[in-house]
Amino acid sequence: MIADVIIHPSPNQGPRRDGLRPSIVVIHYTAMQSAAAALERLCDPSAEVSAHYLISGQGDVYQMVEEDQRAWHAGQGEWAGSDDINSRSIGIELDNQGTHPFAEPQMQALERLLKDIMARWKITADGVIGHSDMAPGRKADPGPRFDWARLARQGLAATGKDDPSRKDLTPDSFIAAARLVGFTADVSLDTLLTAARLRFAPWRSGPLCQDDLQLCHYISSKWK
């Protein structure tokens, strides 16, 4: 465990179901005015929501739920063909409203925490996802301001790569590729495209285009 974790237990937790162990880390933003407000809500029994960790903008790390327990952070959704993400994951909330970049102390604390969690539970980079990945159309966090590429450079998240040589992009091939990488929720093409871009290319807009092969190439290089 990283040093200086502040223990602040939440009653909103329970045992993981069916003997499941953490194989995914889900990153969120709090969308609240402050870390203190988020901490209060995540520990309020009437809110029925929690996470394993909350990281403030200053880099303070609060642990509300033990990692072997089931926190209530993911809600309905699906990733890589599996549901009940709460029983399969560790949830990390970041103090941010999604409207501004994530603070440097916060990102450094997240990186240290991720390295620790991934080593302890043998979670690979492919298992570090955003809330929007497993709940496309319903959730948008950690949002377009989150620096996934920074995590990917350290092996703490997966990323796409451009492959100009590929010319086979169609709606069906894009959907198939997205399913292989983990986007298996039953959503429309537009919703899927929004979620995939939010993760791999948040600067891109408009209809499905050749540049969206970035995601397809990541998948093809992983699975071929």
Positions annotated as catalytic residues are 93
Tokens 């005015």 belong to 33
Q: Helix 213-223 crosses helix 189-200 at what angle (to 10 degrees)?
A: 80
Number of C-beta neighbours around residue 183 at 10 A? 25
The three-class DSSP label of residue 76 is: coil
- Backbone dihedral angles phi then psi of residue 183, each to the nearest 5 degrees: -80, 80
Alpha-carbon span 37 to 191, nearest angstrom: 31
